[in-house]
């Protein structure tokens, strides 16, 4: 496997792992390389320092496997999903009211028509299950952490 430091036209830096240098070239040519932060297809190799390996003193316990086309496609899809979830989380935090741990109470008010603006917050598993059992739709927005 080869690890490349990559950068997009928006100057976002990220790493990419490839079975070999030809595979990087193929993915770039097919437009499969996307920036995980902005979905830009304008991706290029960044300046890298060599990673010099120490001599192996024992046999490896497993063989490296080539990444299949299916795996490559799903790594790109995972990158897109993370980007979309980050955008969704940002939109919610910028445009909805944070009601904290009173979410279940506020959701019941909204269901009765006593609340007419968007909100988000936290609830226990039991509170969420009770809301769903009562026919009140809730949507979990996962928080995506950058590594």
Which ranges of the chain would DSSP assign to H, the alpha helix? 21-30, 69-95, 103-111, 125-133
Over the range 89-115, which residues count as b (16 or more CB within 10 Å of their CB) and which as e?
eeeeeeeeeebeeebbebbbeeeeeeb
Q: Could you tell me the pTM of the whole model?
A: 0.47
pLDDT digits (tens, 9 = 90+) for 24-57: 888 889 888 888 888 888 999 886 655 555 566 6
Model confidence at 63, pLDDT cuts 50, 70, 90, reads: very low
> What's the pLDDT band for 22 if we cut at 50, 70, 90?
confident
Q: What is the per-residue DSSP string for 68-100?
A: PHHHHHHHHHHHHHHHHHHHHHHHHHHHSEE-G
Q: Which residue has the higher pLDDT, 67 or 128?
A: 128
3-state secondary structure of 137: coil
């Amino acid at each position: 496997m080869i690890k490349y430091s990559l950068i997009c036209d928006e100057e976002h830096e990220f790493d990419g792992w490839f079975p070999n240098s030809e595979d990087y070239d193929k993915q770039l040519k097919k437009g499969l390389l996307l920036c995980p932060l902005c979905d830009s297809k304008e991706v290029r190799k960044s300046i890298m320092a060599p990673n010099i390996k120490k001599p192996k003193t024992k046999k490896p316990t497993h063989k490296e496997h080539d990444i299949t086309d299916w795996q490559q496609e799903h790594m790109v899809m995972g990158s897109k999903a993370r980007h979309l979830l980050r955008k969704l989380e940002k939109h919610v935090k910028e445009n909805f009211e944070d009601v904290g741990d009173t979410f279940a109470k506020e959701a019941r008010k909204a269901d009765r028509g006593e609340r007419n603006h968007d909100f988000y917050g936290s609830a226990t598993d039991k509170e969420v299950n009770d809301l769903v059992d009562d026919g009140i739709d809730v949507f979990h927005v996962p928080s995506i952490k950058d590594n």
